[in-house]
Amino acid sequence: EQAAFVVLELRLPRVALGLTVGAALGAAGALFQQLSRNPLGSPDIVGFNSGAATGALLVLLHGDPAYVAAGAAGGGLTTAVIVQLLARRGSFRGNRLILAGIAVGSLLASVNAYLLTRAALDHAQSAQLWLIGSLGSAERHQVTPALLGLGALLLAALPAVRRLDLLEMGDEAAGGLGVDAARTRVFVLLIAVGLSAVAVSAAGPIVFVALCAPQLARRLSRGTGTGLLPAAAMGALLLSASDLVAISLPTAGPLPVGVVTGALGGVYLAWLLGRGRRR
């Protein structure tokens, strides 16, 4: 009975939620990078995760915790609209979207810090742990909604990804094949925001998985285009492996998985910088 409790009640929900959240982050990163045509176009870099975290934090500190997912989705969507308005000349391409997202994300990070200073001590402590990103409080009832949301969004994204890949030829050429460029970008953006909201509401704004997973999946599969499903699989693997490292390190207590993914992301960016210098 003790072994069954540890495996089925403690470890299995954590592993299942880690796989689901990692897949959502990997898929969201692939969509954002294909939209922006920039390898830095991930939810955490361009501010969408910060917006989702702000919405969820408002609900967590001043509302009903049962509506955290709705708050994360609303915050992420609002941030998406603001960033799009700031970057609309770039049509989601080039550095304009990245710069606008970084600016909005920095502003929202300050808002999140202010919200923490105005919260009660016990609420602020739990919210701070959540902002780092953690799977330590995973329970069975969290897995099913996250898994259903991930499945529905991936099914909606698959046909849209084919149209999105055609936009690489240019809007005019894709329009000649019957692709509405503006509608496709808006629809894909909504799906990417939804995937980010699924991940943030379940485990907090975990960083760097959405940035690294699409690039690593593309290098391993040597594929072209968005690579939605390989990126989702790589995201699930990265987050699960990071969580295993987090609970295995000989620290005073178990580390939040966001600490480990942040460290891995820093190593990944340093590797990219070194690789660019060698070229």
- pLDDT given at position 252: 66
Q: In this structure, what CATH number is given to the domain that contains residue 123?
A: 1.10.3470.10
CA distance 231 to 240: 14
CA distance 36 to 93: 4
Question: How many beta carbons lie within 10 A of that of residue 246, not counting itself?
Answer: 20
Distances (CA, A) of 168 to 35, 122, 160, 213: 10, 49, 14, 21
68-86 and 95-117 helices cross at what angle (nearest 10)?
Answer: 140
Tell me which H or E stretch contains 186. Answer: helix 181-203
Give pLDDT tens digits for 173-231: 777 777 877 788 888 888 988 898 888 888 888 888 998 899 889 888 887 778 899 99
The DSSP 8-state label assigned to residue 226 in this structure reads: -
- pLDDT given at position 262: 87
Question: How many beta carbons lie within 10 A of that of residue 210, not counting itself?
Answer: 36
Return the half-sphere exposure (C-beta side, CA atoms, 13 A cut-off) of residue 105.
18
Domains: count for the chain: 1
Domain containing residue 43:
2-278
Question: How many beta carbons lie within 10 A of that of residue 278, not counting itself?
Answer: 5
Tell me which H or E stretch contains 119. Answer: none
The whole-model pTM stands at: 0.86
**Mean pLDDT by 10-residue block, N- to C-terminus, for the chain (279 residues)?**
85 92 94 82 78 82 74 81 73 66 86 83 76 83 91 92 80 76 83 86 86 89 83 94 89 82 83 67
CA distance 247 to 249: 6
